Chains A and B, each alone.
Chain A
Amino acid sequence: MIRERYLNLIILAGLVIVPAYALMVDEPFTITLATKVVILALAGVGLNLALGQGGLVSFGHAAYFGIGGYTMGILASHAQNYTPLMTSPFLIEGTNSMPVIWLVAVVVSALLALLIGALSLRTSGVYFIMVTLAFGQMLYYFAISWPAYGGEDGLSIYVRNQFPGVNTLVPIQFYGLCFAILLIVLFLVDRLNKSPFGLALDGAHQNEERALTVGINVYRLRLVAFVISGAITGLAGALFADLNRFVSPVMFDWHTSGQIMIFIILGGVARLFGPIVGAALYILLEHFLGGLSEYWFIYLGAILLFVVLFAKGGIVGGLSKKEMSHGG
């Protein structure tokens, strides 16, 4: 048993050492896998803000992951074909600059989260779960049948987008970029959780009545948290699209929403580093079990079931002794 803070440091060290080792022994694919872990963890960090801190069980975060991915795909494909995105009422050009794409992805997914959140947060409990799920599916079907950006075929971007001073096609450099973003977001989310806003959000999760009686506008509080959460997941979607140089409607699928949730539950709900551990474990399982058996989903399901039933708090919760007030 160790303190959660030390555990977090060990996790961070792992995220530095594994890719560095892979670089030394020339195993670029391990770096690619590590990049995937970091990006999916970022998506999980986004959802964890709504789900862990705010108690908002969104089963539709694939919507923001996908919209972030498509933001990248659409902007980059226009830049690739030298065609403007729109010409009237004013001209918008495509771009292949990562910072611009990230900014647009964050804004677009925040707006989407505002729209979906404003409607979904009128409901609560099971309604909320199902409504968010249904909105995700709505976007999935839209993406499949809308022909302009490839429909089910998705969009291929043949070269990775540019970041000043970085050769993004070199796996370790792209990894560094994603890792830096994850660190920045983790830092900001940690600050946010400890701010009056975060405490109020947690308070409303623990006891909504009390929050209301002390004059907190719970609906607005949750909406803000939901929007930030969607924006972070959207950013992860843009990075994921750049990792694969490809976007497709699968990013919107409800299994994607389920996966992001699985990262959180495996790692530990409302633990800052939970999604990182969960995503790492998931990718490890996918690669080792997937190589052992065609039926590896059975084992994944069994592990997930075990964690949910018997190991509350996930791996971070199980390894660290510090009990958190909002462990569930």
Chain B
Amino acid sequence: MSVILLIEQILNGLQFGVMLFLMAAGLTLIFGVMGLINLAHGSLYMVGAFVAAAVAAWSGSFLLALAASLVAAAMFGALIELTVIRRLYARDHLDQVLATFALILIFSEATRWVFGSFPLFLDTPAWLSGTVILPFGIQYSAYRLAIIIVGLVVALGLFLLITRTRVGMRIRAGDSDREMIAALGVDISVLYTLVFALGAALAGLSGALVGAIQSVEVGMGEPVLILAFVVIVIGGIGSIKGALLGAILVGLTDTLGRTLLPVLLSTVMDASAATAVGSALASMLIYILMAGVLLFKPTGLFGTA
């Protein structure tokens, strides 16, 4: 395998990781602040992609579609926070898991009811299609490069929001002490709705971004949801920094694993057996990574018990 191919695969892993971060950041933020485990996060990702596809088809503008997906997912998030989710903060994790599992069932079928069973169309905008030439003559998809940049900008923005702003201070305070923040006179329920909507907006954004290069269909959020769980478990639940690191670790492991494992195995067995065994192993690799991390750090890399 040539060095250039390896660099390109590392970029791919990074892009996959950044995409996972957008999902994981919302999950981990919601858990960190409200102590809520939200399985329906994947549904918000799906909502983002569907809204983007619908708006792009109607207006022809990709940027408008992205903006619409952000707004729609945030509004949708706020809506379910106000109707269902806020009843769950004081409940145990089992109730949270089941209630949000019920939301998945409702949203998936409702989406199919509204949009039909056939996948929708969403394409990359003309100004981001094609490739760019990076240093060392690496040819790389412009759109994927844009995803990496958007993801890193969002990561920076979240970091600034939490460490530098008043809202961020409240989020950090809510994280450590619910009573204290209530005593300070901050309307905690408004804060919770805002945080949930922010997480939802990030999920919607990532759904819309990814929808342009993948299939926009019902159920698209579930595989991503499970990967995002793996990410925040590795990174430590509640930690944005952990989510970023975990996401990139998972992205790189998965991408490099499925390209390198068959190559490595082909040195000890014949080619088509190596392909089959290699890809079987590669599909389990990130779970093995997670088990390995937990063996040494049961609360993830940056988690506090």
Given A134-B226, A145-B276, A298-B106, A309:B99 Cβ within 8 A: yes
Give the CA-CA distance A57 to B96 in the complex, in Å.
11
Give the CA-CA distance A70 to B291 in the complex, in Å.
24
The reply on A90 being an interface residue by CB < 8 A is: no
Cβ of B237: which chain A residues have Cβ within 8 Å of it?
126-127
Is the beta-carbon distance between B105 and A309 smaller than 8 angstroms? no
Q: In the complex, which range does the number of interface residues on chain B fall in? A: 35 or more
Give the CA-CA distance A230 to B112 in the complex, in Å.
35
Cβ of A328: which chain B residues have Cβ within 8 Å of it?
92, 94
Given A130-B233, A141-B284, A145-B280, A301:B294 Cβ within 8 A: no
Report the minimum CB–CB distance from B20 to chain A (whole Å).
Answer: 14
Stretch binding the partner chain, chosen from B133-141, B181-189, B207-215, B295-303: B295-303
Is the beta-carbon distance between B102 and A302 smaller than 8 angstroms? yes
Report the minimum CB–CB distance from A146 to chain B (whole Å).
Answer: 6
The residue of chain A having its C-beta at the shortest distance from the C-beta of B233 within the complex is A130
Cβ of B233: which chain A residues have Cβ within 8 Å of it?
127, 130-131, 134
Give the CA-CA distance A82 to B95 in the complex, in Å.
48
Is the beta-carbon distance between B97 and A129 smaller than 8 angstroms? yes
The reply on A21 being an interface residue by CB < 8 A is: no
Give the CA-CA distance A147 to B108 in the complex, in Å.
31
- Among residues 256 to 274 in chain A, which have CB atoms less than 8 Å away from a CB atom of chain B? 258, 261-262, 265, 269
Cβ of B31: which chain A residues have Cβ within 8 Å of it?
126
Is the beta-carbon distance between B87 and A309 smaller than 8 angstroms? yes
- Among residues 271 to 328 in chain A, which have CB atoms less than 8 Å away from a CB atom of chain B? 295-298, 300-302, 304-305, 308-309, 328
Is the beta-carbon distance between A134 and B298 smaller than 8 angstroms? no
Given A119-B294, A134-B290, A297:B109 Cβ within 8 A: yes
Choose among A129, A142, A305 the residue that contacts B37 (Cβ–Cβ < 8 A). Answer: A129
Choose among A125, A144, A301 the residue that contacts B103 (Cβ–Cβ < 8 A). Answer: A301
The reply on B169 being an interface residue by CB < 8 A is: no
The reply on A240 being an interface residue by CB < 8 A is: no
The residue of chain A having its C-beta at the shortest distance from the C-beta of B99 within the complex is A308
Q: How many residues of A contact B (CB 8 A)?
A: 41
Is the beta-carbon distance between A129 and B93 smaller than 8 angstroms? yes
Is the beta-carbon distance between A138 and B284 smaller than 8 angstroms? yes
Give the CA-CA distance A137 to B230 in the complex, in Å.
11
Give the CA-CA distance A250 to B207 in the complex, in Å.
26
The residue of chain A having its C-beta at the shortest distance from the C-beta of B223 within the complex is A137
Choose among B101, B109, B230 the residue that contacts A258 (Cβ–Cβ < 8 A). Answer: B101
Report the minimum CB–CB distance from A51 to chain B (whole Å).
Answer: 7
The reply on A254 being an interface residue by CB < 8 A is: yes
The residue of chain B having its C-beta at the shortest distance from the C-beta of A57 within the complex is B94
Cβ of B95: which chain A residues have Cβ within 8 Å of it?
308
Give the CA-CA distance A304 to B39 in the complex, in Å.
14
Choose among B84, B101, B283, B287 the residue that contacts A135 (Cβ–Cβ < 8 A). Answer: B287
Give the CA-CA distance A328 to B92 in the complex, in Å.
8
Choose among A131, A142, A262, A295 the residue that contacts B98 (Cβ–Cβ < 8 A). Answer: A262
Is the beta-carbon distance between A301 and B105 smaller than 8 angstroms? yes
Given A129-B93, A304-B99, 17 other A-B residues pairs in contact with their CB atoms under 8 A: A57-B93, A119-B294, A126-B37, A133-B229, A134-B229, A138-B288, A141-B280, A261-B98, A261-B101, A295-B109, A300-B105, A301-B104, A304-B101, A304-B105, A305-B84, A308-B95, A309-B99
Give B contacts to A, CB under 8 Å. 31, 37, 84, 87-88, 92-95, 97-99, 101-106, 108-110, 112-113, 226, 229-230, 232-233, 237, 276, 279-280, 283-284, 287-288, 290-291, 294-295, 298-300, 303
Q: Across chains A and B, which 3 residue pairs bring their CB atoms closest together, nearest first?
A: A301-B105, A138-B287, A301-B106
The 5 listed contacts between A and B (C-beta, < 8 Å) are A130-B230, A130-B233, A138-B288, A145-B283, A265-B98
